[in-house]
Structure 1
Amino acid sequence: MLGYIWQYVYTSFLRYWLKWLIRQATGRCELQRICSGYKPGATRTAKTEYSLRSSKNKVLRGALETSKDQLEPCVDQILKEKSVKPQKDPLFRGSLLTCLFQITGYSSLFVSVEDVRKEVFDSENQEHEAMLLKLWDLLMPDVKLESRITKQWGDIGFQGDDPKTDFRGMGMLGLINLVFFSESYTEEARQVLSHANHPTLGYSYAIVGINLTEMAYSLMKSGALKPHFYNTVLGAPKLQDFHQLYCYLAYEFDKFWVSEEPESIMHFNQYREKFHNIVKTHLQDPDVSLALTVSKN
């Protein structure tokens, strides 16, 4: 209760006067101090986001909702509102613009991710079918698929004879992630599949992949992935950046699973949660970068 009261008092009264006093002493507004005091990345962008969101100024708060093509004039308006003269602080405008591209880009990326997730796999859609067959060819290049509906799908970790039923939760997002990993990191994807098909330590490759897509989606939705994207993308992140994150999760989960040596797949939820917590712990590091790195022989 006391913590809540202090937070209210700070945000409502003390923060404003503290900012005013520091500006009088330094000649710089809070945004200037943030942009000059921190290197590009999660800490600088997160502090900028908090400063804008906490501002009583409508222009500053509105910057968080500004469309990509209006960000430059928005930054110019902020400079005007805060009486910042570009010639006295020539780096500020570019730094603030980068932060805003990252902040608004994250929100836009989630909208794109959600749109793909809502797209239902349609077996009548030739593009959907071609992508599914491409997944098979990438993972099983030496084995011909006997027919579209077959038990062979179980060899790459689907539950039944027709994989379309497994995409219900994550829609096309689950399939696109599986194909992206298999196409971008073919050797690694096949290695992961071989581990998944281990007679005692195995797991359902495709089903777990879709499950990891759900993990990435939930982390994105909660905002937990902001530090990762703010550190790895100098600007607005794109769908490809989300797919790259999935590749990291797929590869790292396999390493985690093999090292843990679970008794059986029946304990999957327990180990999934443990892995999820590991990822969330990594994301609390302001310098985090969940980038897939593979050793090349």
Structure 2
Amino acid sequence: VVEKGGDGKLNERVVRRFVGKYTRPLPWQAALQQWGDAHVGVPFSEEEHAPMLVELWGLAFADRDAPPRKHESWGELGFQQKDPATDFRGGGMLGLELIMRLARDHNDAFRGYLERSKGESAMKGYPFACGMINVCYALLELMGLLAG
């Protein structure tokens, strides 16, 4: 409906009518936001997350011991820095949980993806762990679960 010669208040009346009734979060949206508040942006904890990194290494390379937490070998998993904890920004440790879920529950697929990420050459590969972390971050952003 277009208001002819109106005072421009039509939009205001429509908005007022819908605010509250249709702008409250639906139950699933509220639950998702509550979950996001509890899981997104969690900082790296040496006590909780360092053992997960060691387990992740074992799931990727069963025949090799995990390197120290600050070591260039973490690049083999696709971390960008010597310290993998520095790659978990923005979305927090949820990225590590995502990688761990894939590695634990679908290990053959995980190892296949990791191997394919190396590519035929350095120019055709990609950093697997960072890719997973970025996908996680993009999904969090899409769902509106990132602060700010």
- Normalising by structure 2, what TM-score? 0.76
Could you tell me how far 1:62 is from its partner in structure 2?
8.5
Q: Which residue, out of 102, 111, 116, partners 2:34?
A: 111
Structure 2 counterpart of 1:150: 71
Q: Considering only CA atoms, is the larger Rg found in Structure 1 or Structure 2?
A: 1
**In 1, Cα distance between the equivalents of 2:67 and 2:142?**
38
The ranges of structure 1 where at least 4 consecutive aligned residues each deviate by more than 3 angstroms after the TM superposition are 62-65
- Unmatched 5+ stretches in structure 2: none
Aligned 1:1-297 pairs, distance under 5 A: 8=10, 12=14, 54=18, 61=21, 64=24, 103-123=26-46, 126-200=47-121, 201-221=124-144
**In 2, Cα distance between the equivalents of 1:133 and 1:146?**
8
Query: Does the 8 Å CA contact 2:79/2:128 hold for their aligned counterparts?
Result: yes
**In 1, Cα distance between the equivalents of 2:39 and 2:83?**
21
Distance 1:141 1:110, change over 3 A: farther
Could you tell me how far 1:158 is from its partner in structure 2?
0.5
Query: Does the 8 Å CA contact 2:79/2:127 hold for their aligned counterparts?
Result: yes
Query: Does the 8 Å CA contact 1:139/1:182 hold for their aligned counterparts?
Result: yes
Query: Does the 8 Å CA contact 2:74/2:83 hold for their aligned counterparts?
Result: yes
RMSD (Å) for aligned C-alpha atoms: 2.8
Greater relative contact order (CA < 8 Å, ≥ 6 in sequence): 2
- Unmatched 5+ stretches in structure 1: 13-52, 66-102, 223-297
Query: Does the 8 Å CA contact 1:64/1:104 hold for their aligned counterparts?
Result: no
- Normalising by structure 1, what TM-score? 0.40
**In 1, Cα distance between the equivalents of 2:78 and 2:43?**
20
Higher helix share: 1
Helix, strand or coil: the match of 1:146? Answer: coil
> Kindly, what percent of the aligned residue pairs are identical?
29
Aligned length, in residue pairs:
133
Query: Does the 8 Å CA contact 1:152/1:161 hold for their aligned counterparts?
Result: yes
